[in-house]
Amino acid sequence: MRRRRILAAGGVVVGTSVAGAASRLTDGAELVARARDSSDESALETNAETLLSDTVHETTLYEIDAPADGPTVMIFGGVHGDEYNGIDVAREVVDWAPDAGTLVTVPETDRVAVENDEREGVDGDLNRQFPAEEGPASDLAVGIWDAVERHDPDVVLDLHRSLGVYGVHQQYVGQALFYSPGADGESIAATLNDEAVPWYLPMHRFVAHESHLSGPLLFHETARELDAASYLFETTNFLLDRETKNEMTRIATAAVLDRHGLLEGGP
């Protein structure tokens, strides 16, 4: 049963102790625990399918169907192959256990970029290959879009990482949640600020920003074409170690599932 519905430090010098301390975050653990453990795990149905079989882009999509009706949420990691937080957390999500709806995950969306530890794959930047009114611009983009249309998600979350902080460092977009009109970006960003950002990193509080839908990004296209509630999550390399970025990404992912009704006790 479906419901429709985006470095310059300015002279700041900080030691690695800040990043190390941030990696010990414990807030948000209850939210992530609810995403990992279903009230009826024995009733979950899981499936894996291969996308773009027998091509250089071949990658795996995972689907988890919960026993209760609910929306379909589709999560992408590895659209940029060097943004480890999204890849790491999307791999974890494969073993999460929603209470309702369907959870679809592609952990290594541009598998060549992931394997080469590079932002772009053989066709360039995958997240610039979904132009409005033109159709996907590469073989990889076509294959990913075919999977999106087949699963017809109500909610889409694309996991990323920038180099600087949005509004602080020119041209960088870290610590931001971009969302399509009508999606619940403000509430999810508030959850991140409450549960994931410690008091000693005020610069790293998340900003929610409603996005126009004219751009060539994957989350733009899912909002335009499917009327999906679509999110682009960005954390940052600035002063954060890998586990801190991962923890923020986990909490963001669990918050999206919670706000859209996949977790017991959520809205």
pLDDT of residue 6: 33
Kindly give, in sequence order, each residue whose CB lies less than 8 Å from that of residue 237, ignoring residues fewer than 6 positions away: 161, 162, 163, 164, 174, 245
Name every residue whose Cβ is closer than 8 Å to that of residue 186 and which is 6 or more positions away in sequence: 208
Distance in angstroms (rounded) separating the CA atoms of residues 241 and 206: 17
pTM of the model: 0.91
Strand (E) positions, 87-150? 100-106
- Per-residue confidence (pLDDT) for residue 265, from 0 to 100: 76
pLDDT digits (tens, 9 = 90+) for 17-46: 344 444 444 458 999 999 999 777 778 999
| Fold that domain 23-259 belongs to in CATH | Aminopeptidase (3.40.630)
DSSP state of 134: T
Output the pLDDT for position 25: 45
pLDDT at 27: 55
pLDDT digits (tens, 9 = 90+) for 161-183: 999 999 999 999 999 999 999 99
Q: Alpha-carbon distance 181 to 228, whole Å?
A: 10
Q: How many residues does the chain have?
A: 267
Question: What pLDDT, on the 0 to 100 scale, is given for residue 24?
Answer: 42
Mean pLDDT of the chain: 91
Q: What is the DSSP string of 143-195?
A: HHHHHHHHH--SEEEEEEEESSBTTTSTT--BSEEEE-TTS-HHHHHHHHHHH
In the predicted model, residues of the chain with pLDDT beneath 50 are 1-26
